[in-house]
Amino acid sequence: MRFLALLVAAAFAASSLVFAQSGVAGDWAVSFDTPNGAREVTMAMKVDGDALSGTIASEMGEVPFKGTAKGNTFNASFNVDTPNGSFTIALSGEIDGDGMKGVLDFGQGTGEFTGKRKK
The string of pLDDT tens digits covering residues 72-95 is: 999 999 999 889 899 999 999 999
What is the pLDDT, as a whole number, of residue 21? Answer: 44
pTM of model > 0.85: no
- Is it the case that residue 119 has pLDDT exceeding 70? yes
Q: Give the up-direction half-sphere exposure of residue 37: CA atoms within 13 A in the CB hemisphere.
A: 1
| SS3 at position 91 | strand
DSSP assigned state of 21: T
Nearest to 112 by CA among 30, 6, 24, 48: 30
CB-based contact 72:96 (threshold 8 Å): yes
Given 2.60.40.3080, 3.30.1360.120, 2.40.128.120, 3.40.50.2300, which CATH number is that of 23-117?
2.40.128.120
Q: Domain coordinates of the chain in residue numbers?
A: 23-117
The string of pLDDT tens digits covering residues 2-61 is: 433 333 333 333 333 333 445 999 999 999 998 889 999 999 999 999 999 999 999 989
Residue type, 37: G
